[in-house]
Amino acid sequence: MSAQVRSAAIVGIHEYPSRDVEGALSPLQIKAASAARALEDAGLSWSDVDAIYDAGEAGPMSGFMISEYFGIRPNVIDTTNVGGSSYEYHAAHARRDIAAGKAKVALLTYGSTAHSNAARIGVGGRGGAGLPGDNVESFVGQTLVANYAMVACRHMYEYGTTSEQLAEISVATRAHAMRNPEAVQAMKDLEFLDIRETTVDDVVKSRMIADPLHLLECCMISDGGGAVVIAAPEVARNCAKRPVWILGTGEATKYPENGGDITTSAAAQSGPPAFAEAGVTPDEIDVAMIYDSFSITVLTILEDLGFCPKGEGGRWVEGGRLRFDRPGDGPALNTDGGGLSSNHPGMRGIFLLIEAARQLRGESTSQVDHASLAVAHGNGGMLGARHCAGTVILGRD
Amino acid sequence: MADATRPLPKLDELDTRPFWEATRDGKLTYQRCDDCGTVVWHPRRHCTGCTGGNLSWHTASGAGTIYTFSVVRQSYHPFFRTLVPYAVAWVDLDEGPRLLTNVVGVKDPTSDLACGQRVTLEWEEHDELKIPLFRPADG
């Protein structure tokens, strides 16, 4: 642990509480409201922000637009957009920029009204064939769910993984959601039919959406947003809450290749450098915040990050191992209720950082006893085709 | 919705235009590098295996194997919603390229398909091009 460099920390967080703004708020308004709350959480203000990170989800050319909207004058402007993993990249870049002396207080924000817009993210048509890869793929009617389902299908074929094993991920996540009042309210607002803890049987008997993935293995489509403030050590030491240090980061991309292995995601490349930089191993991790667009996303990434060998994830997650109250068995998974049962407005990556920070502060509604190390892993794009991965290892003082 | 049709590729996309033009003649083509032998798919102008980039076009036999697949049960697309349940699949051509396609010609895609299953090319005719679909190979 002596090699760890503590050059930047998460000092402010906010998750926008509503998952259904009923068309009354814009994504920009959600971003600004979240930013103000996250700055208050840190004991900072707009004028302290000197670096802005923005995925452009709320409007084009956000490099010009977002600072004006917030009314800030940053010295660092980063508009990396890698889909749902953008915020893990933003955290990595903020730490790098702070360590290089370019900035002291970085602001990351997210806002989306995907639910109010009735965005059919999972089962809509795939439009736009402007890029060459799309132009030889978009004629087949592959829904987003089917894209991920093809990873699950091959995982089952190669390793004998079962739907019951995949269901364990949905069950553990729902159990955590039921402990989180905002997640329960989200499920009410989004008109979930049956808001309660689920069983493996519930999941595998829910409606098939794209074989082999069932309804309860798919994330919700909500409104929402949030903000994260990251600061240099000299700022972090004087903030209102205790700092959550960024200890290691990794980035990677993956895409369809002739003869490639669809069951291995970009996490296999982004994870090892992140753990190595942090000087920790997966078996030391208390909380795993992993992008749960679908059950298979989590299973694949748990393997790729090294929590268990490739192909053994199905057996590894059995028996409720991922629950928050099973310390010693491996990390607690998505203790806020995840995208499956709490919050998924399209790009969930910022909530991974936020709940990891809550855990390391001791503020989670499914608090892991003595949580000291967490991983936040974002997956952006499509797991069964081209995607980006961002791994961030976080630790408390 | 009676006139809803399959979304067709753009013929003015410069990397993939030669591929779609060849489908008019019933040819399923792919690229291979004359310098390093790399099979390049999707089509593009440069070689991903070396910087020489002398790619040439070859015609595939149409024989392949299902690498993985899914059966779409729910779609809001005006055309594809009329097809459910239907199979999408990554198919490995014997020559190397891995294509995203539909596997057709089975009674029940939810039970009649498997990873590793042999498939063969079946064209779907359109005005300006043909769409490469696959069906289980005979026997």
pTM above 0.90, yes or no: yes
Confidence label for A270 from pLDDT (cuts 50, 70 and 90): very high
pLDDT digits (tens, 9 = 90+) for A304-335: 999 999 999 999 999 999 999 987 789 999 99
pLDDT digits (tens, 9 = 90+) for A345-377: 999 999 999 999 999 999 999 999 999 999 999
Three-state secondary-structure class, residue A126: coil
Neighbours of B3 (CB within 10 A): 6
Give B 60-99 residues with CB within 8 A of chain A: 67-80, 83, 86, 88-90, 92, 96-99
What per-residue confidence (pLDDT) applies to B53? 82
Angle of helix A144-159 relative to helix A295-304, nearest 10 degrees, comes to 50
What per-residue confidence (pLDDT) applies to A126? 45
Q: Mean pLDDT over residues B56-70, rounded?
A: 98
Q: Which of A169, A143, A144, A165 is nearest to A155 (CA)?
A: A165
The domain limits of chain A are 9-118+220-396
Tokens 């190669």 sit on residue: A158
- The string of DSSP letters for B85-128 reads SEEEEEEEETTS-EEEEEE-S-S-TTTS--TT-EEEEEEEE-SS
Q: Mean pLDDT over residues B36-48, rounded?
A: 96
Pair A381, A82: CB distance under 8 Å: yes
Q: What architecture is domain B61-139?
A: Beta Barrel (2.40)
Joined together, the tokens standing for residue A203 give: 């999941």
Q: Which residues of A290-309 are buried (b: 16+ CB within 10 A; e: fewer)?
A: bbbbbbbbbbbbbbbbbbbe
CA A372/CA B62 separation, integer angstroms: 55
Residues of chain A found within 8 Å of residue B69, distances taken between Cβ atoms? 150, 153
Confidence label for A124 from pLDDT (cuts 50, 70 and 90): low
Residue A281 has pLDDT above 90, yes or no: yes
- Here the ipTM equals 0.96
How many residues are there in chain B? 139
Homologous superfamily assigned to A9-118+220-396: Thiolase/Chalcone synthase (3.40.47.10)
Q: Kind and range of the H or E element at A194?
A: none
The two beta strands, B118-125 and B130-136, are antiparallel
Three-state secondary-structure class, residue A397: coil
The domain limits of chain B are 10-59, 61-139
Confidence label for A123 from pLDDT (cuts 50, 70 and 90): low
**A126 at the B interface (CB within 8 A)?**
yes
CA B54/CA B52 separation, integer angstroms: 6
What per-residue confidence (pLDDT) applies to A329? 85
Angle of helix A27-42 relative to helix A62-70, nearest 10 degrees, comes to 60
pLDDT digits (tens, 9 = 90+) for A126-181: 444 579 999 999 999 999 999 999 999 999 999 999 999 999 999 999 999 999 99
Inter-chain CB proximity A136 and B9 less than 8 Å: yes
Residue B1 has pLDDT above 70, yes or no: no
Residues of chain A found within 8 Å of residue B41, distances taken between Cβ atoms? 258
For residue A213, give how far its alpha carbon lies from the nearest alpha carbon of chain B (Å).
9
- The string of DSSP letters for B16-47 reads THHHHHHHTTT--EEEEETTT--EE-S--SS-
What per-residue confidence (pLDDT) applies to A125? 47
Q: What DSSP state is assigned to residue B82?
A: G
For residue B138, give how far its alpha carbon lies from the nearest alpha carbon of chain A (Å).
23
What per-residue confidence (pLDDT) applies to A118? 79
**B135 at the A interface (CB within 8 A)?**
no
